[in-house]
């Protein structure tokens, strides 16, 4: 009898130990336990630590509450400015409601992955290429909002979304490289021009200061000679003073101006003299009558004969002429 009781006690103890072992569960700190009792959700979610369930009646599902890092496969799309790109991203999320993560969705990880891919495609189509390359923070925020909207009903919260890489076609890369090179060239030229402008202003100020002190220009000339001779060259370059050239140029211009002025004064004096000279007057001879003309002709002839040395009579050779009588 005693042996039977001992045997029964040992059997009950063994059954109790097996029951405890099958009913005991341990929930880790980063997990929460969701109990389904006969297929229905229990009222409470089991917290971390040791917990008990009813074997054969309850079923415990552990849900990880840590932040999950999920890479999003590269998605190929066309941007708003018609550029084909491939963009990949990474999603950081965690479960905030273990019961909804078990009851509302079959596999919350797969669901979040699919939503992230579709949202990434949508972001690519709504954005320009420049936004994808330079304004990623704004795109990350918009992508997180698009994924977080359906995920809240699954007991999942999107912590952050990051666009990792944007792959461009080779032709687009070459075009962007040429554009960047042209931009850098333009910037270098602008900086060089600005430096030349500042240097010219400083040189103008230095020239003005040297013009006030002629000795400063001589000292500058000597410094230039010393700088050239410091290289141990056999040839010594002596700079020709520019002021001398300017002096010669001014002297030539002044001499030319004086010559032109003298010529103009001379022409003016001649013009004034011509204006002061009186015009020549023509005297009219008195009219002569035929008788007076006839009387004056012999006298004129005799005067001409006297001047020629013939005297009052004609020479013998002229008297023999038939017209000689008329001449006498």
User: What residues in the chain have per-residue pLDDT under 50?
Assistant: 282-312, 317-318, 321, 323-328
Can you list the positions of beta strands (E) in 58-121? 58-64, 68-78, 84-95
Adjacent-strand bridge partners of 92: 69, 160
Tell me, what's the pLDDT at 172? 84
Q: For residues 36 and 59, is the Cβ–Cβ distance under 8 A? A: yes
Q: What is the DSSP letter of 79?
A: -
If DSSP codes are grouped into helix, strand and coil, which group holds residue 180? helix
Q: What is the pLDDT of residue 237?
A: 62
Which pLDDT belongs to residue 9? 80
How many residues can be counted in the chain?
Answer: 328
Q: Where are the alpha helices (DSSP H) in 97-169?
A: 98-103, 108-126, 129-134, 136-151
Evaluated on CA atoms 210, 211, 215, 217, the torsion sign reads positive
Q: CB 173: neighbour CB atoms within 10 A?
A: 11
In this prediction, residue 71 carries a pLDDT of: 92
Q: How many helices (H) and strands (E) does the chain have?
A: 11, 8
Which residues are bridge partners to 27 per DSSP? 49
Q: What is the DSSP string of 4-61?
A: HHHHHHHHHHHHHHHHHHHHEEEE-TTEEEEEEETTEEEEEEEPSEEEE--TTTEEEE
- Condensed to tens digits (0 to 9), the pLDDT of residues 69-116 reads 999 999 988 888 888 899 999 999 999 999 889 988 888 999 999 999
Residue 6 confidence (pLDDT): 76
Spatial separation of the C-alpha atoms in residues 296 and 314, rounded to whole Å: 19
Looking at residue 307, its pLDDT comes to: 45
Per-residue confidence (pLDDT) for residue 89, from 0 to 100: 93
| C-alpha to C-alpha distance for 77 and 123, rounded to whole angstroms | 9
Give CA–CA dist 220/228, Å, rounded: 12
Please give the model's pTM, rounded to 2 decimal places: 0.54
């Amino acid at each position: 009898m005693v042996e039977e009781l001992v045997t029964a006690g040992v059997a009950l103890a063994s059954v109790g130990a097996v029951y405890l072992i099958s009913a005991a569960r341990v929930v880790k700190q980063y997990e929460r336990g969701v109990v389904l009792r006969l297929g229905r959700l229990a009222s409470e979610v089991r917290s971390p630590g040791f917990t008990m369930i009813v074997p054969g009646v309850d079923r415990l599902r552990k849900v990880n509450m840590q932040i999950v890092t999920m890479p999003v496969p590269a998605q190929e799309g066309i941007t708003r400015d018609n550029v084909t790109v491939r963009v990949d991203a990474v999603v950081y999320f965690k479960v905030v409601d273990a019961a909804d993560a078990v009851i509302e969705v079959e596999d919350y990880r797969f669901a979040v992955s699919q939503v992230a891919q579709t949202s990434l495609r949508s972001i690519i189509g709504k954005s320009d290429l420049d936004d994808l390359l330079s304004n990623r923070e704004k795109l990350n925020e918009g992508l997180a909002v698009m994924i977080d909207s359906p995920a809240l009903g699954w007991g999942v919260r999107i912590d952050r979304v990051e666009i990792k890489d944007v792959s461009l076609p080779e032709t687009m890369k070459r075009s962007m490289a040429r554009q960047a090179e042209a931009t850098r060239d333009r910037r270098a030229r602008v900086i060089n021009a600005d430096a030349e402008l500042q240097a010219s202003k400083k040189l103008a100020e230095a020239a003005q200061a040297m013009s006030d002190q002629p000795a400063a220009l001589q000292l500058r000339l000597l410094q230039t000679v010393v700088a050239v001779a410091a290289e141990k060259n056999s040839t010594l370059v002596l700079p020709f003073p520019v002021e001398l050239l300017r002096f010669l140029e001014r002297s030539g211009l002044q001499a030319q101006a004086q010559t032109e002025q003298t010529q103009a004064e001379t022409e003016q004096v001649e013009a004034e003299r011509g204006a002061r000279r009186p015009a020549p007057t023509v005297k009219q001879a008195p009219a002569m009558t035929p008788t007076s003309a006839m009387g004056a002709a012999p006298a004129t002839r005799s005067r001409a004969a006297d001047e020629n040395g013939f005297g009052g009579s004609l020479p013998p050779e002229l008297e023999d002429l038939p017209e000689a009588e008329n001449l006498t």
